[in-house]
Each structure stands twice: as C-alpha cells, then as structure tokens.
Amino acid sequence: MSTSKKHREFVGEPMGDKPVTDLAGIGPVLGDRLQKAGFNFAYTVLGQFLILEKNNELFVSWIKDTASANQKQANDCYSCLKEWCDSFL
C-alpha cells in the first residue's frame, strides 16, 4: 500500500503535541470537527484509538460519526495511527 507524505512524516517521529490535522486523512475541515468534539491534538485521537483497542471497524465508525469522515479519510487515519503504534508502543 502506498502512503502519503503526511502519513510517512507522522509515523516517522514521536507524537509530541502534534495538532490533529497532522494525522493522515485529517485536513482542516475534519480537524475543525474533531476539535469541536474535544480532540485538539493527535494524541487525543490516539487515546480514542487505544480505547477502541486499535480495532479497525470501531475506530473507522467512530471517526465517521464524530467528524463525518468518509471511508478513505477514516481508513487513512486508522492506518496512520496503527503504524505509529506499531513503531512506538
């Protein structure tokens, strides 16, 4: 699977205080929706990802419901977080 530059940059370094829009699949519109739902940083979305036990179906459903993400955006974000976890946790 080919990944975006944004994806590669995100998974290539520690999380820190990255904004939610640094996640692959999350642009300004979805980022704004996530921020309004209380997810201001990538690590808060990571927290939800971990609460959902890194489950693809549950996370994709959650981000679609929370931010009105489409399937591609949701899958890109899931893949980004999964690969980050595989590297850093």
Q: What predicted TM-score, i.e. pTM, was given to this entire model?
A: 0.94
10-residue averages of pLDDT along the chain (89 residues)? 82 94 97 97 98 98 98 97 95
For residue 16, what are the domain limits? 5-88
| DSSP-assigned states of every residue in 53-82 | TT-HHHHHHHHHHHH---HHHHHHHHHHHH
| CATH code at position 25 | 1.10.150.40
- Structural domains in the chain (count): 1
User: How many whole angstroms separate alpha carbon 82 and alpha carbon 54?
Assistant: 7
In this prediction, residue 3 carries a pLDDT of: 77
User: How many whole angstroms separate alpha carbon 16 and alpha carbon 14?
Assistant: 6
In this prediction, residue 87 carries a pLDDT of: 94
